């Protein structure tokens, strides 16, 4: 990939060029230096689960076909995959646990900077968790709910309450019949590690059964708890405008980037950065104010609740520093490149870690504690103002920034689409049943230097909306879509006629930003709500929908993909899962799983071909449901691009 083809985003390209000119290394350079990447790793057939190894299987059949213990390619690839899922589920779920802990502290009066902000949602979620509301006050309910949520992580008996109460009954039955109903969150992750220790589970299908159960404990458990309890603590999002891309940085203001995933500190940073004393302090330091902007999913969390601008997605974290305009970057957990540490040393940028789980050698650590949140946030902002004094003269901020709308949720889609008199999913279901809307797709996930930055995201979304497929988005895909102008109601102009009509009638964009990575759980609950409304089958696998991650890279993305598949969703990803070294496992994931569980994976690196795989799947589901023909003539798939890969 040449410098010019590393991204489709002109702001990013400008900074990539700037980095190259200054001899600064970025992820793309390190990716090039890493070539050729290890074929055994790509195929998933190397194992170092014990010290008799490492072992590797010869994919050409000429060398070893088993590790020293006798594990074959199927076992090794399956074990490696479930370990990725366990790590991804652990990351999401630990996030959920921390939010539950913060809610508990707040409700007990020990987290003075936090309080229940959404009492309607508190009551709804508490009821789902089986808590009697009686005459209890908000804090009593919140204590009981947070304790019930925390029990979901480590309980030893029964199954996950949230999976049973949020998922459609027909789906719960599929899980029970398949023996994959998640029991508790930590338990499934621990068991995934136990099963993959040397000499335990060697049957790849049995390993995949548990991989599904582990991922379900993430999607319908840990992630769902993170989303629901964040809404209670920080307020359920409402549609809100924000700006996206590196152009949100401001030359004359103290620029602070919040990066990572957890909203607990960033929520307080937003409030504190707007305090008069803090703004005055910045002005006393010759700045024109404080400009807080987000990066990755911490960015998504605060943009959807406060309209805070977002500077970029995963592959832009280094590029933001290269502008020379970031005075301080404060990070929490996940998707934070270790490279930031040495990169920030080349600039005046102060990098601060805040989580005891995420420290970086040589980087200042200001440990976050919920009971002193505002005090810690003020300390961080003072450091940013001090760092502004060290800013060099040479800064380069790209002009590009795009306005967008975010903040859609399971609850407010219900209100927005329901019309003036009644909140309901009926109009959405009817639009699908009548053929105005072909179906819906969740397009989510990261960036990956193996794929031109943002190209996969934007190309796929455009193809889907052109074909009357409503898109819901989260994570770094949502930020890519925002930068490309796809999160504006005006994007209706590039949609098929049916989707355009709906967007214009309701005033929504054709791509609905529903939040951060953990908020993929919102997509699950939207699907459950659509089914509950009626007319589109009984199970998620009946719905004319599909999922995709066109530029995925993280283990969390694998867990997300697996919980969508295990929930009955056809899910297409660009870079294949590292399983191709096992023909049997690949066939199981991409074909056979569908018969057992109703969903399956597909691997397709061309985002247009991938979009047509999704469209064809959606059309198949429409036929099975005997829905009416599409109302408008559809754009034809580019010739030769509909074939299955």
Positions touching ligand MSK (CB under 6 A) are 261, 296-297, 313-314, 335, 445-446, 475-476, 516-517, 554, 556-557
C-alpha pair distances (Å), 85 with each of 79, 334, 446, 521, 633:
10, 15, 16, 16, 41
**Closest distance of CB 41 from ligand SF4, Å:** 14
My answer on whether omega of the bond before 238 falls inside 30° of 0, hence cis, is: no
Compute the least distance from the CB of residue 222 to ligand MSK, in Å. Answer: 14
Q: How far is CA 88 from CA 222, 480, 521, 542, 635, in A?
A: 11, 22, 14, 27, 37
CB of 54 to ligand SF4, least distance (A): 6
49 is a contact residue toward ligand SF4 (CB under 6 A): yes
Check: CB of residue 277 under 8 Å from CB of residue 351. no
* Least gap, CB of 195 to ligand SF4 (angstroms): 12
Longest Cα–Cα distance of the chain, Å, equals 72
Which of ligand MSK, ligand SF4, none binds 405 (CB below 5-8 Å, type-dependent)? none
How near is the Cβ of 371 to ligand MSK at its closest, in Å? 27
Instruction: Identify the sign of the CA torsion 147, 152, 156, 160.
Output: positive
Nearest CB to ligand SF4, comparing residues 46 and 549: 46
- Residue 55 binding target from ligand SF4, ligand MSK, none, CB below 5 to 8 Å by type: ligand SF4
Nearer to ligand MSK, 338 or 635 (CB): 338
Q: Which is nearer to ligand MSK, 312 or 598 (CB)?
A: 312
Radius of gyration of the chain, Cα coordinates, nearest whole angstrom:
24
Binder of residue 446, out of ligand MSK, ligand SF4, none (CB less than 5 to 8 A by kind): ligand MSK
List C-alpha distances in Å: 563 to 98, 297, 559.
21, 19, 6
Q: Is 48 in the site for ligand SF4 (CB under 6 A)?
A: yes
Helix (H, G, I), strand (E, B) or coil at 174: helix
Cα gap 6→454, rounded to integer Å: 9
Q: How many residues bind ligand SF4 (CB under 6 A)?
A: 14
| Interaction partner, residue 476 (ligand SF4, ligand MSK, none; CB < 5-8 Å by kind) | ligand MSK
In the bound state with ligand SF4, the residue whose beta carbon lies nearer, of 68 and 497, is 68
Q: Name the minimum Å distance from CB 587 to ligand SF4.
A: 22
Alpha-carbon distance of 296 to 574, in angstroms, equals 20
Q: Are 341 and 361 in contact (CB under 8 A)?
A: yes
Binding of residue 236 to ligand SF4 (CB under 6 A): no
Query: With respect to ligand SF4, which residue has the nearer C-beta, 40 or 414?
Result: 40
User: Which residue is it, tokens 């200042």?
Assistant: 364
Q: Which partner from the list ligand MSK, ligand SF4, none does 68 bind, CB cut-off 5 to 8 Å by kind? A: ligand SF4
Cis upstream peptide for 36 (omega within 30°)? yes
Pick out residues in 51-90 that bind ligand SF4 (CB under 6 A).
Answer: 52-55, 67-69, 71, 76
Is 166 or 314 the residue whose CB approaches ligand MSK more closely? Answer: 314
| Residue 69 binding target from ligand SF4, ligand MSK, none, CB below 5 to 8 Å by type | ligand SF4
Q: Which residue has the tokens 């990351």?
A: 91
- State which residue, 68 or 505, has the beta carbon closest to ligand SF4: 68
The residue among 445 and 498 lying less far from ligand MSK, judged by its C-beta, is: 445
- Is 67 or 561 the residue whose CB approaches ligand SF4 more closely? 67
Closest distance to ligand SF4 from the beta carbon of 214 (Å): 20
Q: Which does 49 bind (CB under 5 to 8 A by kind): ligand MSK, ligand SF4, none?
A: ligand SF4
Q: What angle do CA 569, 574, 577 make, to 5 degrees?
A: 75
Structure tokens that stand for 608 in this block: 């247009």
Two structure tokens written together for 582? 């096992």
Q: Which does 556 bind (CB under 5 to 8 A by kind): ligand MSK, ligand SF4, none?
A: ligand MSK
Question: What are the counts of helices (DSSP H) followed by strands (DSSP E) for the chain?
Answer: 27, 16
DSSP assignment of 438-474: -EEEEE-----TTS-BTHHHHHHHHHHHHTTEEEEE-
Of residues 161 and 562, the one with the C-beta less far from ligand MSK: 562
- Per partner kind, with CB cut-offs from 5 to 8 A, the member of ligand MSK, ligand SF4, none near residue 52 is ligand SF4
Q: What's the burial of 446, exposed, middle or buried (CB within 10 Å: 0-12/13-18/19+)? A: buried
53 binds, among ligand MSK, ligand SF4, none (CB under 5 to 8 A by kind): ligand SF4
Nearer to ligand MSK among residue 229 and residue 543 (C-beta): 229
Cα angle, residue 23 at apex, residues 20 and 26 outer, rounded to 5°: 65
| Closer residue to ligand MSK (CB): 398 or 445 | 445
Shortest approach of ligand MSK to residue 280 CB, angstroms?
34
- Cβ atoms within 10 Å, residue 26: 24
- The DSSP element (H or E) to which 310 belongs, if any, is strand 310-312
Q: Dihedral sign for Cα 246, 251, 252, 256, please.
A: positive
Q: State the minimum distance, in angstroms, from the CB of residue 517 to ligand MSK.
A: 4
CB of residue 393 to ligand SF4, shortest distance in Å: 55
314 binds, among ligand MSK, ligand SF4, none (CB under 5 to 8 A by kind): ligand MSK
Closer CB to ligand MSK, 239 or 475, in the complex: 475
Kindly indicate which of the ranges 47-55, 149-157, 274-282, 602-610 contains the residues binding ligand SF4, using the contact rule CB under 6 A.
47-55
Say how far apart CA 309 and CA 295 lie, in whole Å.
Answer: 9
50 binds, among ligand SF4, ligand MSK, none (CB under 5 to 8 A by kind): ligand SF4
574, 604 contact by CB (below 8 A): yes
Q: Which stretch binds ligand SF4 (CB under 6 A): 48-56, 378-386, 406-414, 606-614?
A: 48-56
Q: How far apart are CB 141 and ligand MSK at their closest, in Å?
A: 30
Listed in sequence order, the residues at least 6 apart from 409 whose beta carbon sits closer than 8 Å to its beta carbon are 231, 236, 237, 514, 515, 522
In angstroms, how far is CA 318 from the centroid of its own chain?
20
Give residues in contact with ligand SF4 (CB under 6 A). Answer: 47-50, 52-55, 67-69, 71, 76, 198
């Amino acid at each position: 990939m040449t410098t010019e083809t590393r991204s489709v985003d002109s702001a990013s390209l400008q900074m990539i060029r700037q980095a190259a000119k200054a001899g600064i290394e970025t992820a793309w350079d390190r990716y090039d230096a890493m070539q050729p990447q290890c074929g055994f790793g790509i195929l998933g057939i190397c194992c170092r689960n014990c010290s008799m190894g490492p072992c590797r299987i010869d994919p050409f059949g000429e060398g070893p076909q088993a590790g020293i213990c006798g594990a074959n390619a199927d076992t090794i690839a399956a074990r490696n995959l479930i370990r990725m899922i366990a790590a991804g589920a652990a990351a999401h779920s630990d996030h959920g646990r921390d939010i539950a802990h913060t809610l508990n502290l707040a409700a007990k009066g020990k987290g003075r900077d936090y309080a229940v902000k959404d009492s309607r949602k508190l009551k709804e979620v508490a009821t789902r968790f089986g808590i009697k509301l009686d005459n209890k006050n908000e804090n009593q309910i919140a204590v009981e709910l947070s304790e019930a949520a925390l029990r979901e992580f480590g309980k030893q008996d029964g199954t996950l309450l949230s999976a049973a109460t949020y998922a459609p009954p027909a789906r719960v039955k599929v899980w029970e019949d398949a023996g994959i109903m998640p029991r508790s969150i930590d338990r499934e992750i621990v068991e995934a590690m136990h099963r993959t220790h040397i000499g335990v589970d060697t049957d790849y299908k049995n390993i995949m059964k548990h991989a599904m159960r582990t991922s379900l404990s993430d999607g319908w458990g840990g992630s769902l708890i993170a989303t629901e309890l964040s809404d209670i603590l920080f307020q359920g999002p409402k549609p809100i405008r924000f700006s996206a891309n590196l152009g949100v940085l401001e030359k004359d203001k103290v620029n602070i980037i919040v990066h990572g995933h957890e909203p607990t500190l960033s929520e307080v940073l937003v409030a504190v950065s707007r305090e008069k004393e803090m703004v005055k302090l910045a002005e006393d330091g010759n700045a024109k104010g404080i400009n807080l902007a987000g990066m990755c999913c911490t960015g998504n969390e605060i943009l959807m609740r406060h309209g805070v601008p977002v500077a970029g997605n995963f592959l832009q974290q280094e590029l933001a520093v290269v502008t020379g305009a970031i005075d301080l970057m404060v990070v929490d957990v996940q998707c934070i490149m270790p490279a930031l540490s040495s990169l920030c040393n080349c600039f005046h940028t102060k990098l601060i870690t805040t989580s005891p789980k995420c420290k970086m050698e040589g980087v200042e650590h200001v440990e976050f504690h919920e009971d002193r949140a505002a005090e810690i946030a003020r300390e961080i902002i003072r450091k940013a103002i001090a760092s502004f004094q060290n800013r060099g003269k040479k800064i380069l901020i790209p002009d590009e920034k795009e306005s967008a709308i975010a903040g859609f949720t399971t609850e407010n889609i219900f209100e927005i689409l329901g019309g003036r008199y009644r909140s309901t999913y009926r109009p959405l279901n009817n639009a699908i049943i009548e053929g105005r809307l072909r179906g819906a797709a969740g397009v989510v996930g990261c960036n990956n230097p193996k794929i031109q930055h943002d190209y996969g995201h934007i190309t796929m979304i455009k193809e889907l909306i052109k074909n009357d497929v409503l898109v819901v988005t989260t994570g770094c895909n949502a930020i890519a879509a925002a930068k490309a102008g796809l999160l504006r109601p005006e994007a209706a102009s590039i949609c098929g006629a049916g989707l355009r009509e709906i967007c214009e009638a309701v005033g929504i964009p054709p791509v609905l930003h529903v939040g951060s990575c953990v908020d993929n759980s919102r997509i699950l609950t939207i699907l459950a709500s659509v089914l509950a409304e009626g007319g589109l089958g009984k199970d998620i696998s009946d719905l004319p929908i599909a999922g995709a991650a066109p530029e995925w890279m993280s283990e969390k993305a694998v867990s997300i993909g697996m919980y969508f598949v295990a929930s009955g969703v056809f899910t297409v990803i660009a870079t294949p899962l590292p399983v191709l070294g096992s023909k049997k496992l690949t066939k199981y994931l991409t074909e056979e799983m569908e018969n057992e569980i109703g969903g399956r994976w597909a691997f397709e690196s061309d985002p247009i071909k991938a979009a047509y795989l999704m469209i064809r799947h959606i059309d198949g589901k429409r036929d099975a449901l005997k829905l009416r023909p599409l109302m408008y003539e559809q754009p034809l798939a580019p010739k030769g691009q509909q074939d299955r890969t």
